[in-house]
Amino acid sequence: MIQKNQIRVDNNLLFDAWSAGMEDDASILCKYQRFLAAAFHSRSEHLDLMATLESVLDVGPVADLLMSIRDDADASFAMARKSYLHPNGYQKLVLISPDQFPVPYELRMHYWATIGVDSKPDIHDHGWDFASHILFGRLQSDEYEVSETGEHLHSGRYIRQEQHSFGVYSNNTQPLSKVNSATYNAGDFYLQPNELLHRVTPLDPDGTCTLVLQGPTKSTESRVFCAKNASSLRSVVIKPLQVSAYHSCIDRIVLRGSKPSR
């Protein structure tokens, strides 16, 4: 039997069988899964991530999707295994993700419970494009580029070795300059190209949560820059969330999402 999260979108036969296996499942989770699988299956090379993220919200309320996952023991276990506390201070909560590496697409949440006061997120790019929708709260996104007149920062290249492991294979110093800054509020959407360097900072003390649609993986490598000493750029092994912690995050997000942002 083909499981829901084992789809390979580049395989027509498997896609058809996987879709057929969900035809009688009326849960909002399966409706979201069907929508995304069809979108990436039919036009993955030319997919408009922003439009797709806007459209998937028409499938049903995000809170209902979260509770559908919470009430599904298999889905909770599978997605908790892909979720973790990110080194940049937010909970990365995966909601829908095909069971292959690297993933061809992923729907997840980035959740900051409050404002981080003791740490400064690093500057980085990604191995994929993504679209983001601010569900509640507020954040600032600063964009950077390599510049001879910029601030010299320690840099490295992270390579994703497996689902929860990242390793640095180079480490030096490069000058970066901030070239743009934008603030996003609840209800806003934005698109992040994979090679654009940025730093994201939450601004709402009551919490910020974004719904992120990641596109196909373009590279398993990404650049990262920080003002710490070079030894801070090292191999990282991420600890997946326990199901209980995953459920706790969902509960807090649903509760917080019912309250207005400041």
Q: Classify burial at 209, counting beta carbons within 10 Å of its beta carbon; exposed 0-12, middle 13-18, buried 19 or more.
A: buried
pLDDT band (50, 70, 90) for residue 196: very high
Rounded Cα–Cα distance for residues 21 and 100 (Å): 19
Closest listed residue to residue 158, CA positions, set 173, 145, 171: 171
The least confident of 93-107, 156-170, 189-203 is 156-170
A 10 A CB-CB count for 255 gives 11
pLDDT in tens, 208-244: 999 999 999 888 889 989 876 545 556 667 789 999 9
Q: Which of 170 and 128 is assigned the larger pLDDT?
A: 128
Q: What is the mean pLDDT of the chain?
A: 84
Q: For the chain, what is the radius of gyration of the CA atoms?
A: 18
What is the per-residue pLDDT for 19?
45
Q: Which residue ranges make up each domain of the chain?
A: 4-257
Are 69 and 76 contacting, i.e. CB atoms less than 8 angstroms apart?
Answer: yes
pLDDT in tens, 154-192: 888 887 766 555 666 566 888 999 999 999 999 999 999
Q: Given 2.40.10.480, 3.30.420.310, 3.30.450.80, 2.60.120.10, which CATH number is that of 4-257?
A: 2.60.120.10
Rounded Cα–Cα distance for residues 54 and 72 (Å): 25
Are 259 and 209 contacting, i.e. CB atoms less than 8 angstroms apart?
Answer: no
Amino acid at the residue 40: F
* 54 Cβ contact list (under 8 Å, min separation 6): 133, 189
Q: What percentage of the chain exceeds 90 in pLDDT? A: 58
Q: Which of 154 and 145 is assigned the larger pLDDT?
A: 145
> Quick one: the chain helix, strand, coil %, rounded to 5?
30, 35, 35
